[in-house]
Chains A and B, each alone.
Chain A
């Protein structure tokens, strides 16, 4: 009994419950038809949200004021450069991935420079820098839509044991980040810095390096997401990242990661990512128009946040 109650004190449970509820409600309408297809689609589209959400989660764990607003620009830039270098030729997939990762490394490094060397607040630094990345993407892309190599496109849209390949990639990344957070020294340092920066510094944690590495990791994750998304959807578009700005923050918070910092929550990211896709598809299948869909999505997000925070209050 105690164990079964304890599960409700886990911060990630709410996003999973919400995702499950929405999933069930969609199936009630279709009388159970298309359950597999819906789950498959949710896993595919949820993966991209999960990957950028993981990065945003790490940054937000650093404490209030830490957020990366350059994620969409980094995604677009990495995807654009990656696809350009591959030039739709088969056998270039790894080269493209390398270039995309390099782009992520560079944007992350640039963010770090602005935040630490120029001591800009992260919100404003990543915002200003993202304008520059966007420009580079526009300049290198010139409105061309280069198709990904066929093998890569097949991989991105393919499946293994019934689960989309992109979901496997996202899952592996999540597990790595989970282990790093829970088991490695660096993960402990990150959590400590988020909980109390001053105390962590006095305890000998290299706070600045921890923060710098985090801002680079988020950019690299964003570049992976951009690369995969472009391969998945048949090319890079200049606005491909735009919806992931709000999405990345929303999945972190719905997932139960503390906005005050110091507490990460990997499983919650997945629940929230699936939920964010499922809620839109539920409202779609109930025939809600675009306006109503947005109003309800917003309302539901706020209610989940209220539910999650009042639970924290009781503890």
Chain B
């Protein structure tokens, strides 16, 4: 009896604190590491396309205006706008740390239910995260190149949040549901926002050539998937490392 009492006595607080520390620490490491790599990938692959589009957004370049326009204008280099690019790196790391907090918290719950989450599993988690946070909303609200026509930003944000939420639930059900219903419900959840439709602009006013818009969307999705694969693997890896360290210390 006494032994039982001693076992039951440790209050919730230290356990909660340890758990919270583990989640925060692993999410911070994973988010910062993945975010830094992704920021560099974006600067290399996405930023030149964005800067090219901005030349049309500002009117510095006009296509179909008369004379043919070169598809290879002079663009600012990586070090021409250091503050802008440093801010992009910082905000990418922050954004992916936000994603990592959600991801590691969900991993902790999956593990509590008896599922194993290794770094290799983390890759699948990352792909699921990419579908939920990037691909599902982007399927109808395609990644926007600067200068495109779009509906009111508030309305699009509401649709974005709802689509991410339904896609996230769908991914969880597919992963952990385990019966026929858990495939049918996610399919409906994934399709519904696109059947209902996202807020669309009334007219098209985009001055940016379609070639740039298409390349931008493709690059954003590609880097997004790489980003989430890295994030998932890192999140699971650091979560395991932190858990092992805690177990060793206990």
Q: Do A and B come from one complex?
A: no
Taking Cβ atoms with an 8 Å cutoff, the residues of A that contact B are none
